[in-house]
Amino acid sequence: MPKSDTQTRRGLERHGLTDDQLKAIFRNMLLQRQLDNRGFQLNRQGKVPFALGSEGHEALQAGAAMAFERGKDILAPYYRDLGLAIGIGLSAYEIMLSIFARADDHNGGRQFPNHYSSKKAGLMSFSSILAAHIPHAVGAAYAMKLRNERGRAVLVTCGDGTTSEGEWHESMNFAAIHKLPIVMLVENNQWAISTPLDQQMGQPNIYKRAEGYGMPGEQFDGFDPIATYEVVKRAMDRARTGGGPSLIEGVCYRFLAHSTDDNDMTYRTKDEVSEHRKMDPVPKFERVLLDAGVVTAEDIEAMRKDVLRETNEATDKAESMPYPEASDLYKHLYEGAWQPWL
């Protein structure tokens, strides 16, 4: 027997999220999946040399992005953060410019896809070298604190693999010493390319390291966008109001291979992947929203169509744009024109 709207609404623990915000989270998740798939399709079509997906991270990233305050906060993401990038304001078109390496891409087609950068959006430029961006985020948080900018915080993310790096540790330690306005969000998808968690660390609960640094730590279900939002929001609010840093860990799973250049069946089993697929956060959250009466089946259908339309338009438009000029290779090395000394 279907529950009434009111009953279900009371049953859904929404942590202050409005219907519109819940819909926006779900739309973000749909768009992530569509854009991910598009990247892989374009790679198979031979149109782009490389693509990388974040399937399995949709709920975590869409929920976390909802706790980000545009125009105030800074995001220091890593290369598997499509949902955070679009969640803080990057358009599907900007994502496609990155995938196609076009001249109008924020990086001018210099970096791999997924290495987003947008000063306007508060998204810090980063490289492919894992954990190198974490001290950058800490430095940005230090600048905020030095300038007494209450109400702002830095959200820095990484995968489980990055938590093995020395700079990860150094950054946590420094952030704790200075009680910086920063939230370290670990997206634990349980695989560092081919290396499983138990070969990466003796203590698989990454958030427990927080105690060692002297900051709050918390773990949450990264397949649940509302739970994610709640934990990230609380940590960001703490950071914004002078309460210092937090280490929070969302547990999810990497459904796809590491990238289009990886075959995950060489190191993990189909069974393992399909076991986790049963918990796929996208259909799961769709069901939650339907059950709660936040959306109807028709709404969902319309959203899917709209996301596909947006992806198609972004793909066509980005593909039609020019590559950077060969002479662009020489730009932006230093301020001013390139003057080789030899």
Partner 1 sequence: MAVAETQKSQVLNNVEAVRETLYEAMKTDERTVILGEDVGNRGNVFLITKDFVKEFGPQRVIDTPIAEASIIGIAVGMAMEGLRPIAEIQFADFIYPAFNQIVGEAAKTRYRSNGEYTCPLVIRTPYGGGVRGALSHSVSIEALFYHVPGLKIVAPAFPADVKGLLNAAIDDPDPVLFLEHKKTYRLIKGEVPDGHYTIPIGKADVKKAGNQLTVVSYGLYVHWALEAANALEAEGMSVEVIDLRSIRPMDKQAILESVRKTRKLLIIHEDNKFGGIGAEISAMVAEEALFDLDAPIRRHAAPDVPAMGYALPLEEEYMSSPNEMAEVMREMVKF
> Which residues of the shown chain bind partner 1 in the complex (CB under 8 A)?
74, 76, 105-108, 110-111, 115, 117-119, 124-125, 127, 129, 132, 134-146, 166-167, 170-171, 173-174, 177, 331-335, 339, 341-342
Instruction: Map residue 119 onto helix, strand or coil.
Output: coil
Nearer to partner 1, 15 or 110 (CB): 110
DSSP-derived secondary structure letter, 247: E
Nearer to partner 1, 203 or 341 (CB): 341
Nearer to partner 1, 146 or 265 (CB): 146
Report d(CA 121, CA 208) in Å as an integer: 32
CB of 1 to partner 1, least distance (A): 56
In DSSP notation, 284-299 reads HHHHHHHHTTSS-HHH
Nearer to partner 1, 8 or 125 (CB): 125
What's phi and psi for 90, nearest 5 deg? Answer: -70, 145
Report d(CA 104, CA 126) in Å as an integer: 18
Instruction: Map residue 313 onto helix, strand or coil.
Output: helix
Residues 133, 156 contacting (CB under 8 angstroms) = yes
Spacing of C-alpha 292 from chain mean position:
26
CB of 336 to partner 1, least distance (A): 9
Report d(CA 296, CA 26) in Å as an integer: 13
Helix (H) or strand (E) holding 210: helix 209-213
CB of 181 to partner 1, least distance (A): 12
CB of 112 to partner 1, least distance (A): 10
CB of 17 to partner 1, least distance (A): 30
Catalytic (active-site) positions? 254, 258, 267
Nearer to partner 1, 100 or 191 (CB): 100
The burial of 182, by beta-carbon neighbours within 10 Å (0-12 exposed, 13-18 middle, 19 or more buried), is given as buried
